[in-house]
């Protein structure tokens, strides 16, 4: 909340790396679930993964 109420500081290299890694991990998880929903046989399973 410091960016809204106080002094703004730059992100460190480690924080930037963590943000990038989390973005990659989230994208991979979303793509995996989409793939599972495409090959699922049961409609309820497809809907759950979608």
Q: How distant, in Å, are the alpha carbons of 2, 3, 5, 40 from that of 44?
A: 44, 44, 46, 9
pLDDT at position 3, please? 62
pLDDT at position 18, please? 97
pLDDT at position 22, please? 97
Domain spans, the chain: 11-49
Task: Look at 48 and 19; give whichever has higher pLDDT.
Answer: 19
Residue 50 CA to residue 30 CA, distance in Å, equals 9
Give the DSSP per-residue string, 19-32.
HHHHHHHHHHHHHH
Over residues 6-46, the pLDDT tens digits come to 777 888 999 999 999 999 999 999 999 999 889 989 989 88
Alpha carbon distance, N-terminus to C-terminus of the chain: 34
Q: State the residue for tokens 């991990």.
A: 25
pLDDT at position 48, please? 85
């Amino acid at each position: 909340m410091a960016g809204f109420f106080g002094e703004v500081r730059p992100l460190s290299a480690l924080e930037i790396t963590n943000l990038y890694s989390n973005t990659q991990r989230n994208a991979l998880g979303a793509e995996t679930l989409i793939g599972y929903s495409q090959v699922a046989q049961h409609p309820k399973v497809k809907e759950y993964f979608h």
